[in-house]
């Protein structure tokens, strides 16, 4: 099999994997939003005070939804890159991203060394909000 052919085969598989993951994330997002709404409407049933519920919403539910949305965005980007035949190529240096990395992180759009550089830059830019970056790292690595 030619390199181009087997690559396309693998990308096809990754595409299916991404679509499946997206479906799952959309479901999680719906459930997360639904849970927060029903809790807020029935604070007594949930066994918490209204204030506790609002705190829960701000600290847990909203960040979780944001996180899920970000992952969906990443997946959409990757799907677009597959369609545009740009998938698997580092967006910074243009080198091919190793397939082993794509299989673990199917929405990776940079090679490992460019990703590290980009993350360092991000840390410098938003120095005051390092916590947010840590959270992102935990999700996207
Ligand atoms: Zn690169």
Whether 105 and 121 map to the same domain: the answer is: no
CB proximity list for 9: less than 8 A, separation 6 or greater: 1
| C-alpha neighbours within 13 Å on the C-beta side of residue 87 | 30
What are 89's strand-pairing partners? 96
C-alpha 46/C-alpha 50 separation (Å) is 10
pLDDT above 80 for 40: no
Whether 61 and 117 map to the same domain: the answer is: no
Whether 100 and 127 map to the same domain: the answer is: no
Could you tell me the distance, in angstroms and rounded to a whole number, from the CA of residue 94 to the centre of ligand 1?
A: 6
Whether 101 and 125 map to the same domain: the answer is: no
Whether 65 and 133 map to the same domain: the answer is: no
- pLDDT over 70 for what percent of the chain? 75
Whether 77 and 138 map to the same domain: the answer is: no
Query: Burial, 110: exposed, middle or buried (Cβ in 10 Å; 0-12, 13-18, 19+)?
Result: buried
How sure is the predictor about 137, in pLDDT bands with cuts at 50, 70 and 90? Answer: very low
CB proximity list for 46: less than 8 A, separation 6 or greater: 38, 39, 53
CB proximity list for 3: less than 8 A, separation 6 or greater: none
Average pLDDT over the chain reads 81
Whether 78 and 118 map to the same domain: the answer is: no
- Structural domain of 98: 3-110
Instruction: Give the predicted TM-score (pTM) of the model.
Output: 0.72
Could you tell me the distance, in angstroms and rounded to a whole number, from the CA of residue 105 to the centre of ligand 1?
A: 15
Whether 75 and 121 map to the same domain: the answer is: no
Whether 118 and 82 map to the same domain: the answer is: no
Whether 99 and 131 map to the same domain: the answer is: no
Could you tell me the distance, in angstroms and rounded to a whole number, from the CA of residue 23 to the centre of ligand 1?
A: 29
pLDDT digits (tens, 9 = 90+) for 50-87: 788 788 888 888 999 999 999 999 999 999 999 999 99
Q: Please count the structural domains in the chain.
A: 2
**Residue that wins the pLDDT comparison between 116 and 20:** 20
Whether 55 and 116 map to the same domain: the answer is: no
Could you tell me the distance, in angstroms and rounded to a whole number, from the CA of residue 137 to the centre of ligand 1?
A: 18
* Pair 106, 78: CB distance under 8 Å: yes
Q: What is the CATH number of the domain that holds 18?
A: 1.20.120.910
Could you tell me the distance, in angstroms and rounded to a whole number, from the CA of residue 97 to the centre of ligand 1?
A: 8
């Amino acid at each position: 099999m030619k390199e181009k052919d087997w690559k396309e085969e693998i990308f096809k598989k990754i595409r299916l994997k991404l679509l499946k993951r997206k479906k799952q994330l959309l479901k999680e997002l719906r459930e997360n939003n639904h849970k927060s709404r029903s809790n807020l409407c029935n604070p007594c049933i949930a066994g918490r005070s209204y204030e506790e519920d609002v705190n829960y919403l701000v600290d847990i539910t909203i960040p979780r939804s944001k996180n899920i949305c970000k992952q969906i965005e990443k997946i959409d980007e990757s799907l677009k890159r597959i369609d545009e035949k740009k998938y698997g190529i580092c967006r910074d240096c243009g080198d091919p991203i190793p397939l082993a990395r794509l299989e673990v992180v199917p929405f990776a759009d940079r090679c490992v060394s460019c990703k590290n550089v980009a993350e360092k830059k991000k840390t410098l830019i938003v120095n005051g909000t390092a916590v947010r970056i840590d959270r992102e790292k935990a999700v996207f690595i």
